[in-house]
Structure 1
Amino acid sequence: MIPPIASRFVAGEEPAEALDHVRQLNDRDVKAIVNLLGEHYDDREPAHADAVEYQELAEDIARSDLEACISVKPSQIGLDLGEDVFREELTEIVETAADHGVFVWIDMEDHTTTDATLDAFEDLAREHNGGVGVCVQANLKRTRDDVKRLADVPGKVRFVKGAYDEPDEIAYKGKETVNKEYEALLEYAFEHFEDGIAVGSHDPAMIDHAISLHEEHGTDFEIQMLMGVRDDAQYDLADEYEVWQYVPYGGRWKSYFYRRAMERKENLWFAVRAIIGR
């Protein structure tokens, strides 16, 4: 059982708990991106088990008639074991999800996974005429070229600032520089993309910039935020825009909760208050 201190950021340990959270979100006009926690497996068995659970999750979402999709990490389904393993497991997930009308996001991890992730996305997105999305990170110096490559690929692209500590030679480090890159990437996407843009940010300035670009170009977009971070803003934005909440669940919640609690000062204070009972 997940303790209350962590339940702000993680929906539960079982799929049913995650889907219950999704229902509550849907009642407030927020949609859900459901993620089974897990990453960097060096054994095929847990990678395959998680891939199977994703397929079952897609079936459950479709059967429950929920406004939800799924999101998968490449290292969770075998990329550390080889690109062939990753491709095999991902293909099974995408095909099952497509059969049930459920969208699949492919999360982006550190820079060593970028090529394999983008290649898999492009192949599957073209094969399924959309139905698949991928994440790109503004802090990587290569991302402008990657976004140009993806402009005519069916499917969606999620834009985030980037959370991994990458080497200086391949990544921008300054906050102001990363923000400018993020803005520039959004400007290009809103002008050139036709299949949808996901703004994965809690930064009000970036969300406002995206809204202005939407009003200028008319390009479809959605706003994506994490469970437990600026929840009130998510509900307010959902009154006018399409909002999706990233909803993690599963037994491997401790490391995820620790990252969420440490990455933003207000998250850490929430955790401290919960511990001391205030």
Structure 2
Amino acid sequence: MLPPIADNFVAGETAPEAIAHARDLDGRGVGTILNLLGEHYERPGPAAEDRDAYVRLIDDIADAGIDACVSVKPSQIGLDIGESTFRSNLEVIAERADERDAFVWIDMEDHETTDATLDAFEELARAHEWSVGVCLQANLKRTRKDLDRLIDVPGKFRLVKGAYDEPDDLSYTRKPRVNEEYRELLRYAFEHRDRGVAVGSHDPVMIEHAADLAAEHGTDFEIQMLMGVRESAQYDLAADYDVYQYVPYGNRWLSYFYRRVAERRANALFALRAAIGR
């Protein structure tokens, strides 16, 4: 049983509970990105277990006939063990998604995982066109070059501002500078693509900026927000745009919250404000 604060942000502890939440969102015109909670495994066993859970989840989504996909953390499926383990497990998930006409997002973690994550995404996107996507973080100084490198790869990009506290020499640390970079990354993506752009933001100004760019360049895009944050806005936006809600689930919800708070104190205040204002 999830406590009230967790219940705002986590769909439950089991896959059936997550699918039920996704079915409810589907009825409201909002798609779902399902994420089984878990990360930083140091042994092959748990990584393989979650790999298999994602394969079953993809089957459950396809059988339910709902607008949903999955999102996987590299450290959850073996990156901390070794890049070969991560690649092997991700390939199994991507192959099942391709078989079931489903979609897999690859989450981005801290800067130490960026190269391995982007290399895996590029390889899989070329092997399974438009079946995978990756997250790019505006606060990292390298992201402009990464976006340029991947702009012609047949997969999606989720552009976010970034949630990790990174070293000053590798990242922009001031909020105005991150916002500026985010706007420019959005502009570049919309100018050079006609599909596959996802705007991962709760910022109304950035969403409006993206909508203006999409209208200007004729680019198809989607808006992605977290479960429990500005949900009424998600339903309103879904009347005009493709909107997806990022929905975590699983029995590791406690470590999920502890880790988010440990990464940034602001995350605790963010969660509290969102819960109160939901």
So what's the TM-score if we normalise by structure 2?
Answer: 0.95
Q: Deviations over 1:153-196 (max 9, x none)?
A: 00100000001110000000000000000000000000002331
Deviation at 1:264, TM superposition (A): 6.3
Sequence identity, in percent? 62
Deviation at 1:272, TM superposition (A): 7.5
Judged with a 3 Å threshold, the aligned counterparts in structure 2 of structure 1 residues 268 and 92 are, in CA distance, closer, same or farther, namely same
3-state secondary structure, aligned to 1:21: helix
Q: Deviations over 1:121-159 (max 9, x none)?
A: 000000112210000000000000000011100010000
Residue 146 of structure 1 corresponds to 146
Q: Is residue 67 of structure 2 the alignment partner of residue 67 of structure 1?
A: yes
Residue 19 of structure 1 corresponds to 19
Q: Is residue 228 of structure 2 the alignment partner of residue 224 of structure 1?
A: no
Letter in 2 for 1:60: D
Q: Is residue 254 of structure 2 the alignment partner of residue 267 of structure 1?
A: no
Comparing 181-190 and 123-132, the one that deviates more = 123-132
3-state secondary structure, aligned to 2:80: helix
Residue correspondence of structure 1 range 37-116 to structure 2 within 5 A: 37-116=37-116
Deviation at 1:271, TM superposition (A): 5.4
Inter-partner Cα distance in structure 2 for 1:220 and 1:48: 35
Inter-partner Cα distance in structure 2 for 1:66 and 1:156: 20
Structure 2: stretches of 5+ with no match in the other structure: none
Residue 202 of structure 2 corresponds to 202
Structure 1: stretches of 5+ with no match in the other structure: none
Inter-partner Cα distance in structure 2 for 1:175 and 1:273: 23
Residue 8 of structure 1 corresponds to 8
Letter in 1 for 2:272: L
Residue correspondence of structure 1 range 117-266 to structure 2 within 5 A: 117-258=117-258, 259=260, 263=267, 265=269
Q: Deviations over 1:191-218 (max 9, x none)?
A: 0023310000001111010001011001
Inter-partner Cα distance in structure 2 for 1:273 and 1:4: 14
User: Number of matched residues?
Assistant: 274
3-state secondary structure, aligned to 2:222: strand
So what's the TM-score if we normalise by structure 1?
Answer: 0.95
3-state secondary structure, aligned to 2:148: helix
Q: Deviations over 1:32-67 (max 9, x none)?
A: 000000000001000000000000000010011010
Inter-partner Cα distance in structure 2 for 1:167 and 1:266: 22
